[in-house]
Amino acid sequence: MKSFFLRCLKLVLRWMAIVTLKRHCPTVIAITGSVGKSSTKEAVSTVLSSRFRVRQSPGNFNNEIGVPLTILGLLDTKQSSMARFLMVPFRFLWTLCLPRKQYPEMLILELGIDRVGDMEYLLGFLSPTVGILTTISTSHLEFFKSLSVVSREKGRLILSLPKNGLAVLNADEPRVMKFKDKTKAAVLSYGFGEGADVRGTHVSFFRDATTQSIGSSFKLEYGGKIIPVRLPNIIAEHHISAALAAAAVGLFFKMNPLEVAEALRNFQSLPGRMRLFEGVRQSFIVDDTYNASPKSLLAALKTLKSLESSRRVVALGDMLELGADSDRAHRDVAKWILDGGIQEVFLLGKNMLLAKEELERIGFPGNHVHWFPDPDSLGKQLAVSVCEGDTVLLKGSQGMRLEKAVERVLLDPSGMAARLCRQSDEWKRIPFSAS
C-alpha cells in the first residue's frame, strides 16, 4: 500500500512540476556529480542571486520528490513530511496564480541519483539550460556496479542540454571532460589546470589577525583577465572549485568577472561541509561530517595538511555505499593519514577497524589510534583529548552521525540547529546504528 501511494505521489508531483515550469518558464540550472553538488549549488546561487531572482533546492531535495517540491516552492526542511504533502495542492494552485515576474528567474537544482534510471526520470520533466558535472567517482558505487555506469548515468544531464545551453565541466576530472565533445551545448570548463577555461591560480589561505577568521584567496583567470577573489571562511580546495564553477555560470549569463568576484565574497560552506568552529581549549574544529567518500576524504586531509597547526587530529567514520571497493578504500585510509601529517586518530565504525589494522601494520604509534563503536563515546573521548592549538577534522558518511561528536568539542554549542548538519527532529529521532 505504501509503495502504491509513493508511486502515485511521484506521478502527481511530476505533473505539477511540468505545469509549473510551463507556466513560469524559469531558466533551469542542474548540478550533478559524485561529490561537490551541494557546495556547487550554494556557490552558483550566491553568484546569480546578486543579479537574478533565484531559488535553489534545499538540503537533500535532489530526487524525484524533492525536485518537484523545490519547483513548487515547498522548501521548509524542518516541516514534517505529512504537513508538507498536505500543502502540495494549495501551493500548486497558489503558484499557478502567481505573476510570472514574482516567480524565480533561475531554478538551481541538485540532481542526486542513486540508481540507474533516476537521471532519465528527472530529465523527463526538466529541461535544463545549464548543466554542471562536478566529478565522477566511486561514491554510491554500490548501486551502479561499475564506474562506467556511474559516468553514463550522470553524463545524461550533459547530453540532454540544448544547443543554446551551457555545459560546465570540471577540467581537473578526465572522466568529466570526456563529455566535452558529446554535448550539443557550449562548454565552459573550470579548474586549476592550464586547460581550464575558468581557472583558479595562486590559491592561498589566510588568517585575519583582527577577527581571527580563516579563509582563502585565489586569482580568477578568464579570457585574458585576472581577478583576485577572497573567500572568507572557505578553506577547502573543492569549495574553491565550486566557486570556479559558479563563476563560469555567472560569466555565461553576462556577469563581468569583477561582479562575480564580489558576489563570491558571500559564499559560505553548508553545515557539515568543511565548516570552521572554535573548539574547546582554543582548538579549531573542521566539521566535514555531512558525508564521506574516498575522494572527498582525501581532499579534506589535503586541506588539513595545508593548515598551520600545533597538532593535526582526525575523527573519521566509515565511508558507506562503496560496494566491492569498501575494504580496499578503508585500508587506504591508513596511508592517507600517514601522508597527511596526522598526530592523533579517532576512528568510528566496523569498516574503520580495517584502517586501524593497517595503521598498526605500517607502524603508526598504537597509543595514538583510538577506535569507538558509536559517535557519542568518540565525542566524549575527543573532548578530553583535544589540546590547545589542535586542528581537528571530523568526517564520515551520513549514517555514522559524527555531528554528535562535533557537539562535544565546540566551544559554544548554542544554536546548533543552524550550525550543524542533521539537526531536524526527524533525524534526531533516528538512533545510531553501526554499519
Kindly report the CATH number assigned to the domain that includes residue 376: 3.90.190.20
Residue 370, C-alpha cell as written in the block:
583510538
Nearest to 218 by CA among 197, 241, 196: 241
Give CA 62 to chain center in angstroms: 12
Q: Across residues 209-214, what is the average pLDDT?
A: 58
Q: Is the pLDDT of residue 94 over 60?
A: yes
CATH number for 100: 3.40.1190.10
The three cell numbers locating residue 177: 571532460
What residue has cell string 583576485? 228
Helix axes 37-48, 257-264, angle to 10 degrees: 120
Residue given cell 562575480 in the structure block: 260
- Kindly state whether residues 224 and 369 are assigned to the same domain: no
Average pLDDT in the 117-136 region? 95
Q: What counts of helices (H) and strands (E) characterise the chain?
A: 16, 15
User: Is 383 in contact with 408 (CB distance < 8 Å)?
Assistant: yes
Q: Are residues 233 and 96 in the same domain?
A: yes
Instruction: Indicate the range of 116-130, 189-203, 303-317 predicted with least confidence.
Output: 303-317
Domain assignment of residue 58, given as a range? 2-264
What is the pLDDT, as a whole number, of residue 140?
Answer: 59
As given in the structure block, the three cell numbers for residue 221 are 583567470
Which of these three, 264, 286, 310, is where a domain ends? Answer: 264
pTM assigned to the model: 0.80
Residues 189 and 49 in one domain: yes
Domain contains 49: yes
216 and 339 within one domain: no
Asked if residue 269 belongs to a domain, the reply is no
Task: Say if residue 258 is in the same domain as residue 396.
Answer: no
Task: Report whether pLDDT(23) > 80.
Answer: yes
Which residues, other chains included, contact 219 with Cβ-Cβ below 8 Å and sequence gap of 6+? Answer: 200, 201, 202, 226, 227, 228, 229
pLDDT of residue 284: 86
Residue 233, pLDDT score: 79
Tell me what the mean pLDDT of segment 194-216 comes to: 79
Say how many domains are in the chain: 2
**Is residue 181's pLDDT more than 90?**
yes
* Residues 336 and 379 both lie in one domain: yes
Query: What is the tens place of the pLDDT at every residue in 247-300?
Result: 999 999 999 999 999 999 999 888 998 988 889 998 889 999 999 999 889 989
| Residue 228 belongs to a domain | yes
Residue 211 CA to residue 214 CA, distance in Å, equals: 9
Res. 85 pLDDT band, cuts 50 70 90: confident
Distance in angstroms between the alpha carbons of the first and the last residue of the chain: 29
On whether residue 270 sits in a domain, the answer given is: no
Residue 435 lies in a domain: no
* Residue 135 domain flag: yes
26 & 168 share domain: yes
Residue 407 domain-assigned (yes or no)? yes
Residue 434, in any domain of the structure? no
Return the axis-axis angle of helices 237-252 and 37-48, rounded to nearest 10°. Answer: 40
The identity of residue 267, as a single letter, is: F
* CB-CB contact of 401 with 268 (8 Å): no
Q: What is the pLDDT of residue 413?
A: 86
8 A C-beta contact, residue 416 and residue 407: yes
Helix axes 237-252, 257-264, angle to 10 degrees: 140
User: How far apart, in whole angstroms, are the C-alpha atoms of residue 18 and residue 127?
Assistant: 10
CB 261 within 8 A of CB 220: yes
Phi, psi of 70 (to 5 degrees): -65, -45
Cell reading at 292? 564521506
Task: Mark residue 282 as left, alpha or beta (left: phi above 0; alpha: psi -120 to 50; beta: remaining).
Answer: left
Nearest to 402 by CA among 282, 292, 268: 292
pLDDT at residue 247 in the model: 98
Task: Please tell me the predicted confidence (pLDDT) of residue 218.
Answer: 96
Task: For residues 141 and 422, give the distance between their C-alpha atoms in angstroms, rounded to a whole number.
Answer: 23
Output the pLDDT for position 186: 97
Question: pLDDT band at 80, cuts 50/70/90?
Answer: low
242 and 320, same structural domain? no
Say what the pLDDT of residue 245 is.
98
Q: Is the pLDDT of residue 210 over 60?
A: no
pLDDT at residue 78 in the model: 66
Mean pLDDT (whole number) for 324-343: 95
User: Does one domain contain both 287 and 171?
Assistant: no
The answer to whether residues 254 and 153 belong to one domain is: yes
Q: Which residues pair with 41 in a beta bridge?
A: none
The last residue of a domain, from among 233, 264, 295: 264
Q: pLDDT band at residue 425, thresholds of 50, 70 and 90?
A: confident
Residues 293 and 375 in one domain: yes
The confidence band for 207, taking pLDDT boundaries of 50, 70 and 90, is: low
Same domain, 255 and 283: no
pLDDT at res. 2: 62
Instruction: Please work out, in degrees rounded to the nearest 5, the angle formed at the alpha carbon of residue 395 by the alpha carbons of 340 and 282.
Output: 75
On the question of pLDDT at 79 being above 70, the answer is no
